[in-house]
Structure 1
Amino acid sequence: MQSASTDIATRAIGIINQLKDEEGPLLPILHDLQGEFGYVPQEALPLIAQALNISRAEVHGVVTFYHDYRDHPAGRHVLKLCRAEACQSMGGDAMAQKARELLGIDWHGTTSDGAVTLEPVYCLGLCACAPAAMLDGEVIGRLDAEKLEEIATEVRL
């Protein structure tokens, strides 16, 4: 029986080999790895570096630069709260504090039951409907305390 690490490496190599000859393959490889695993496994980074003939530091730098790449699995739901100026000016800071309190986690944290991960995002393009959030890819405008409580209840079910 294959170990989990060996299984991850085997699947990662398949993705890397499929995309490594494309033009600018690093981001598509990272995207597909995250799609496959729900995060970019650390054991895949040296495999990517070797296949693309770049340093591990370069791969690590790209993974950590882009906020959508994760180094661990997210919760079943991902709640993103806009932290940009328009949302902050319309009560976003209070919504962020309330979300952290309701869920009992901080930014990039996942609830102990694995239900939800809370992430900051810097502009969802809903400035006219601030404050804004995104739950599992669905945008939510004019977020208020009542709606946030509904969301917190919904994601914990």
Structure 2
Amino acid sequence: MTESGSTQSTVQEIIAALKDKPGALLPILHGIQDAMGYIPAESVPYIATALSLSRAEVHGVISFYHYFRDTPPGVQTIHLCRAESCQSMGGRKLEEHVKSKLGIDFHETTADGKFSLEPVYCLGNCACSPAMQIGKEIYGRVSADSFDAVINNTEASA
């Protein structure tokens, strides 16, 4: 089966399972993203038809919520905290460093597909600001140097 065929099959299965739920759009979008890591553009017409919505309405919801991706994520997703505590402890400077080091902005993926960068608005690690999360691991008191060390270690173990 081609990737497109596999994508279509996965999307159709999720839509069929969830389309009759009240407020089905968000559960369907979450289901697709959970299964595929993102919401492929080619899934929008299927979702729209199944829910009697316009493609613009479906796309509007996808683009409104930062959680939803419309491109495949990197192998690792870096969540960088942007909450007040982290900002007051050097978060903006760290953000500049991370973006420069990776060569991407928020909601983007490195050209090699290794890392995606996403903002998050509190990791619950305020006493150890600034904080980030990679996979299930949360890091505190992150500096430019400690970020580089974590990234280099992550790349080496991949």
> TM-score, normalization: structure 2?
0.89
Residue 12 (structure 1) aligned with residue 14 (structure 2): no
**Which stretch shows the higher mean deviation, 122-131 or 84-93?**
122-131
> Where do 5+ consecutive residues of structure 1 fail to align?
none
Show the 5 A alignment for 1:19-58: 19-58=18-57
Show the 5 A alignment for 1:114-133: 114-133=113-132
* Alignment check: 8 A CA contact 1:102 1:152 kept: no
Aligned to 2:104: 105
- Distance in 2 between residues matched to 1:152 and 1:134, nearest whole Å: 12
Residue 59 (structure 1) aligned with residue 58 (structure 2): yes
Q: CA deviation at 1:96?
A: 0.8
Aligned to 1:139: 138
Write the letter of the residue equivalent to 1:114: G
Aligned to 2:85: 86
Q: CA deviation at 1:154?
A: 2.5
> Where do 5+ consecutive residues of structure 2 fail to align?
none
- Distance in 2 between residues matched to 1:137 and 1:47, nearest whole Å: 33
Task: Give percent identity, aligned residues only.
Answer: 48
> TM-score, normalization: structure 1?
0.89
SS at match of 1:78: strand
SS at match of 2:100: helix
- Distance in 2 between residues matched to 1:91 and 1:129, nearest whole Å: 11
**Which stretch shows the higher mean deviation, 12-21 or 144-153?**
144-153
* Alignment check: 8 A CA contact 1:115 1:155 kept: no
Q: CA deviation at 1:65?
A: 1.3
Q: C-alpha deviations, 1:39-62, integer Å up to 9, x for none?
A: 101111111111111222221111
